[in-house]
């Protein structure tokens, strides 16, 4: 029998990556590549799932029936996107249950942004517009990620998320054209979300420890700073159209760079929230943990019933 050496396998893997061919679940891959995929895709999935909570906070108080339906559809999509992503990571032979338990135990990370509170209805507009907007910039670039199931999930998610940002901006637009109180509500929400949203792209390239390997293997397709800049450049005109301001005195167009300049980001805050010290970290995880524990008897009952009748 022929023996393919691990050096051959690695060479073939690197060749595929270089030629922009997708890696599929059963293909040989370096252990580290597999680990990085599991980490990144499951973090992404956890983020979708926990991201339902801040918006759910306003679902039962949504001001109109249309807005309530649109918001519910959006939150439902997020559950769906969580599922697509768990499904993608399960192709690597890991169990969703295990990943989910790690998440509930606080061992796995998820996007920091969901550790901030949604305090007013304007927050729902701003979350849709800015948080989903930032996520889309990231996800559009991930449609070209080197792992097949992840890339396919991203294509599907990007297609669906387009409406999310629009429903958010539509809420913002209505508020911007509304009463003084509504405009104030919107400005206040922008002030609170602006910086955390910019942090969603992760630490500056120079400090990002996973980035280089991830870029080399084309899991990540663009650097944190590149994506952040792209987001800012496309968002500022939308902000101006609303007649609102960003809470950043340094934000201005730089004709030489062809980009907007922006002020320093408080990375101290970012690292604190990552370490569990954000305003809602404990509460969000507790909510998910309680739901999971209280759902155990339901999941058990379904298994018991199926055993009896299958």
Interface with another protein (CB under 8 A): 4, 24, 26-28, 49, 52-53, 56, 59-69, 72-73, 75-77, 79-80, 82-84, 86-88, 90, 95-97, 121, 153, 160, 171, 174-175, 177-179, 181-182, 287-288, 290-291, 294-306, 308-310
Shortest distance in whole angstroms from residue 240 CB to another protein:
22
Rg over alpha carbons for the chain, rounded to the nearest Å, is 21
Query: Whose Cβ is closer to another protein: residue 181's or residue 256's?
Result: 181
Query: Whose Cβ is closer to another protein: residue 99's or residue 199's?
Result: 99
Query: Whose Cβ is closer to another protein: residue 7's or residue 206's?
Result: 7
User: 3-class DSSP state for residue 173?
Assistant: helix
Shortest distance in whole angstroms from residue 307 CB to another protein:
8
Shortest distance in whole angstroms from residue 258 CB to another protein:
37
Query: Whose Cβ is closer to another protein: residue 7's or residue 303's?
Result: 303
Q: Tokens representing 129?
A: 């517009």
Cβ–Cβ under 8 Å, residues 151 and 143? yes
Shortest distance in whole angstroms from residue 301 CB to another protein:
3
Between CA 151 and CA 137 the distance in angstroms is 14
Shortest distance in whole angstroms from residue 282 CB to another protein:
16
Cβ–Cβ under 8 Å, residues 128 and 74? yes
Query: Whose Cβ is closer to another protein: residue 87's or residue 208's?
Result: 87
Q: What single string gives the DSSP state of each residue in 192-259?
A: HHHHHHHHTT-S-GGG-TTHHHHHHTTSS-S-HHHHHHHHHHHHHHHHHHHT---S-TT-EEETTTTE
Shortest distance in whole angstroms from residue 172 CB to another protein:
11
Shortest distance in whole angstroms from residue 33 CB to another protein:
15
Cβ–Cβ under 8 Å, residues 61 and 121? yes
Query: Whose Cβ is closer to another protein: residue 184's or residue 212's?
Result: 184
Among 166, 167, 197, 192, which Cα is nearest to 244's? Answer: 192
C-alpha dist (Å) from residue 295 to 102, 286, 299:
17, 14, 6
Q: Tokens representing 294?
A: 């209280």
Query: Whose Cβ is closer to another protein: residue 81's or residue 230's?
Result: 81
Q: Tokens representing 308?
A: 């009896």
User: 3-class DSSP state for residue 260?
Assistant: strand
């Amino acid at each position: 029998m022929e023996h393919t050496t691990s050096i051959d396998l690695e060479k073939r893997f690197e060749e595929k990556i270089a030629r922009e061919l997708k890696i599929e679940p059963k293909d040989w891959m370096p252990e580290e590549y597999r680990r990085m995929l599991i980490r990144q895709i499951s973090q992404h999935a956890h983020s979708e799932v926990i991201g339902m909570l801040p918006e759910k906070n306003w679902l039962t108080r949504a001001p109109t029936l249309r807005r309530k339906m649109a918001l519910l559809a959006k939150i439902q999509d997020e559950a769906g996107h969580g599922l697509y992503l768990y499904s993608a990571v399960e192709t690597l032979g890991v169990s969703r249950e295990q990943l989910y338990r790690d998440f509930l135990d606080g061992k796995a990370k998820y996007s920091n942004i969901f550790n901030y509170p949604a305090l007013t209805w304007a927050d729902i507009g701003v979350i849709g517009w800015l948080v989903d907007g930032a996520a889309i910039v990231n996800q559009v670039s991930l449609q070209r990620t080197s792992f097949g199931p992840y890339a396919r999930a991203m294509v599907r998610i990007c297609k669906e998320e387009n409406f999310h940002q629009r429903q958010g901006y539509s809420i913002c637009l209505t508020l911007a054209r509304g009463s003084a109180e509504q405009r104030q509500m919107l400005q206040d929400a922008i002030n609170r979300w602006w910086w955390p949203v910019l942090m969603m792209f992760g630490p500056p390239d120079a400090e990002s420890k996973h980035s280089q390997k991830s870029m080399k293997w084309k899991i990540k397709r663009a650097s944190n700073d590149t994506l952040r800049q792209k987001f800012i450049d496309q968002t500022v005109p939308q902000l101006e159209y609303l007649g609102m301001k960003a809470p950043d005195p340094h934000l201005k167009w730089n004709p030489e760079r062809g980009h907007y300049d922006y002020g320093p980001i408080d990375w101290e805050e970012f690292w604190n929230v990552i370490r569990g010290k954000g305003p809602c970290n404990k509460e969000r995880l507790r909510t998910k943990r309680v739901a999971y524990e209280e759902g155990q008897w339901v999941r058990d009952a379904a298994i018991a019933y199926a055993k009896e009748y299958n």
